[in-house]
Chains A and B, each alone.
Chain A
């Protein structure tokens, strides 16, 4: 008899084969101008159940450029483990050729040149085409949205998420979980969720007053597909009221709640589920730990930390599939569910090359309809860029440098702080910067740019605290963002040290002097979780700054020295 483990190994091999047929050949195919939609979609249907996973779209309806990180440090047991492998190391690990389409889609390095060659990625009309093609193969495929869908663009902010709700509903998802959605405020979330034609899931969304499961969100949904029963358990972002303003959704409490997750797995197994899928917004390292702690999960569809991996990661007998961000990818995961268990799998991470995949006409028209009322104001050109503008990376990105410079000059501050979020499309050298582009890296419901005074001592406390949210060796204490970006302030960070000992050599970049713990500094920042924050909206601050500059040029930023890696 073949054990479950053997079957999983077979599944891995099958998955690797798909990887080989897709990945190894793409560079050559592209060189021959033969990269086609059929090749991107090529997939030998497997088993009896298909899952389709999209996540962290951040309201990016249209194709975009999005540079993956070059710095993504893992700590503790995750040191050197995916997704903490970047650039050329990542390509060697997965056998991806330099200069190939997958180099461009999945890793950093030569981004601007490759972006010129391969064009934009994503767009929900392309996503619709891929989803429809998978459904043509497997009509009862389960489409799952990992959340961070109703946030991140001009039109999403102006319509309180309605543009995304309209477009996603057209694609008929089966279930969804949540994070930034809650920053629309709990009344608006309730209004949308009550009308959703699919399941709104989160086993860890609780009522804050009584610490009981919240009524509006169900922990899981059972699906009868392919002659078997599949349970999909939702896992919302655990640290919502800590990383985002809790006053916007005071009725709710979150947390990882892995004891309750284990109870839900037992409950769905007892109810006849032969396969347990977790639709997660934990972040990748948290998902890995949860797979170790909670027995009985077959598949974790992983979101939040915006990682895209061409093959699943196996933890025990659980496969974890992270599907990237900003609408760049769709994951197809075929499962063989028999005799009460998952016997094998075959997966493919499909990059949505927008020049290769035909847009779905119906969804394209729907997207245009959402955008039409705002097209004139958001397409206005504010300036140009000479530099690649991107955000992803643990310590700084050129877009953040522009935002910090805007805060320093427009708010007349000595030091600027900008949140280490992972969303926001990139711009390549020579592009116009439109108002929509600025909203792409700043839009949120709590975007006011504050101006205040911090002592040097308190600045260190802030940096230490944020650093511990990223580099705490226990993933359950990681919130999944990147380090707060600083303008006018340089420092040294030892990621291997505990909280309180990581940050040193804090220096004022304007004077070259060490930061004085006792002195007060004028600090400008944005995205405070404080309810009564005052100041202009960050997108106005950035727009004024770029309009004055005309053309943006960002020089290399060496203000953060990283050690202990």
Chain B
């Protein structure tokens, strides 16, 4: 029997996880470069930005992500394990009622999703969440 991708995903797990092992280092440096391009190499702080993501993705093709950073003028999302790490940039004007956004992104494998916010004073805030892409075992 030939295994389609869907069947492999359904049967056990891990083709995806397997891909991570070889893929991650290259993607990680791509992500570092992409973040540096956004921040201009500036130091990033933590604490003023919140990223809400599932611990384990129910479907790696459409993972709900929510980000909030009061006082941000821009927030960029990166998916460190995707072939192209840049996901989206949200821009907020002075009249934006809240500096938050939600979207769905595709994740190739278990990886960190990273959010970087540019604040009104020009400083940067960063946070990340590890999202596992798995097929899982069988619960009790």
Q: Is the CB of A422 within 8 A of B135?
A: no
Q: Is the CB of B1 within 8 A of A453?
A: yes
Residues of A within 8 A of B11 (CB): 450, 452, 462, 525, 528, 530
The segment from B31-39, B48-56, B87-95, B112-120 found at the interface with A is B48-56
Q: Is the CB of B136 within 8 A of A461?
A: no
Residues of A within 8 A of B134 (CB): 242, 465, 468-469
Residues of B within 8 A of A452 (CB): 1, 3, 11
Q: Is the CB of A500 within 8 A of B10?
A: no
Q: Is the CB of A499 within 8 A of B17?
A: yes
Of the residues B10, B14, B55, contact of A477 by C-beta under 8 Å: B55
Q: Is the CB of B58 within 8 A of A484?
A: no
Interface residue A466 (Cβ < 8 Å from any Cβ of B):
yes
Bound complex: CA A527 to CA B55 (Å): 24
Residues of B within 8 A of A453 (CB): 1, 3
Q: Which residue of B lies closest to A529 (CB)?
A: B10
Q: Is the CB of A461 within 8 A of B55?
A: no
Interface residue B138 (Cβ < 8 Å from any Cβ of A):
yes
Q: Is the CB of A304 within 8 A of B140?
A: yes
Residues of B within 8 A of A423 (CB): 140
Residues of B within 8 A of A477 (CB): 55-56, 132
How many interface residues does B have (CB within 8 Å)?
30
Bound complex: CA A232 to CA B92 (Å): 39
Interface size class, chain A: 35 or more
The segment from A253-261, A348-356, A545-553 found at the interface with B is A253-261
Those of A135-177 within 8 Å (CB) of chain B: 148
Those of A469-484 within 8 Å (CB) of chain B: 469-470, 474, 476-477, 479-484
Contact A237/B139 with A211-B64, A530-B10 known, Cβ cut-off 8 Å: yes
Residues of B within 8 A of A461 (CB): 12-15, 17-18
Scoring A residues 236 to 259 as 1 if CB is less than 8 Å from chain B, else 0, what string do you get? 011111111010000001111001
Interface residue B97 (Cβ < 8 Å from any Cβ of A):
no
Contact A242/B56 with A420-B138, A466-B137, A469-B134 known, Cβ cut-off 8 Å: yes
Min CB distance, B120 to chain A, in Å?
A: 25
Bound complex: CA A481 to CA B135 (Å): 13
Q: Is the CB of A528 within 8 A of B14?
A: no
Interface residue B29 (Cβ < 8 Å from any Cβ of A):
no
Residues of B within 8 A of A450 (CB): 11
Contact A283/B14 with A242-B56, A254-B58, A477-B56 known, Cβ cut-off 8 Å: no
Interface residue B59 (Cβ < 8 Å from any Cβ of A):
yes
Of the residues B7, B17, B55, B58, contact of A500 by C-beta under 8 Å: B17
Q: Is the CB of B135 within 8 A of A283?
A: no
Interface residue A464 (Cβ < 8 Å from any Cβ of B):
yes
Contact A479/B136 with A241-B59, A254-B58 known, Cβ cut-off 8 Å: yes
Min CB distance, A482 to chain B, in Å?
A: 8
**How many inter-chain residue pairs (CB < 8 Å) link A and B?**
134
Those of A425-459 within 8 Å (CB) of chain B: 450-454, 457-458
Those of B116-134 within 8 Å (CB) of chain A: 132, 134
Residues of A within 8 A of B15 (CB): 458, 461
Q: Is the CB of A484 within 8 A of B17?
A: no
Of the residues B18, B21, B52, B140, contact of A283 by C-beta under 8 Å: B140
Residues of A within 8 A of B139 (CB): 179, 237, 239-240, 243-244, 304, 421, 479-481
Min CB distance, A391 to chain B, in Å?
A: 10
Min CB distance, B38 to chain A, in Å?
A: 26
Bound complex: CA A306 to CA B12 (Å): 23
Q: Is the CB of B17 within 8 A of A242?
A: no
Residues of A within 8 A of B6 (CB): 530
Q: Is the CB of A480 within 8 A of B140?
A: yes
- Most chain A CB within 10 A, of B14, B56, B140, is at B140
Interface residue A77 (Cβ < 8 Å from any Cβ of B):
no
Contact A465/B55 with A56-B140, A243-B137, A305-B140 known, Cβ cut-off 8 Å: no
Given A423-B140, A462-B11, A469-B136, 13 other A-B contacts at CB below 8 A?
Answer: A238-B55, A241-B59, A453-B1, A458-B12, A461-B17, A465-B137, A466-B12, A474-B55, A476-B55, A479-B56, A481-B138, A482-B140, A484-B138
Task: Give me the interface of B with A, judged by CB distance under 8 Å.
Answer: 1, 3, 6-8, 10-15, 17-18, 21, 52, 54-56, 58-59, 64, 102, 132, 134-140
Task: Give me the interface of A with B, judged by CB distance under 8 Å.
Answer: 56, 148, 179, 208, 211, 237-244, 246, 253-256, 259, 283, 304-306, 325, 417, 419-423, 450-454, 457-458, 461-462, 464-466, 468-470, 474, 476-477, 479-484, 499-500, 525, 527-531, 533
Q: Which 10 A-B pairs have the closest CB atoms?
A: A465-B13, A530-B10, A462-B12, A419-B138, A422-B140, A243-B139, A465-B14, A461-B14, A242-B136, A466-B137
Instruction: Supply 13 A–B pairs (Cβ within 8 Å), ascending by A.
Output: A243-B136, A243-B139, A254-B58, A255-B56, A256-B54, A306-B140, A325-B140, A453-B1, A462-B12, A465-B136, A479-B139, A480-B140, A484-B12
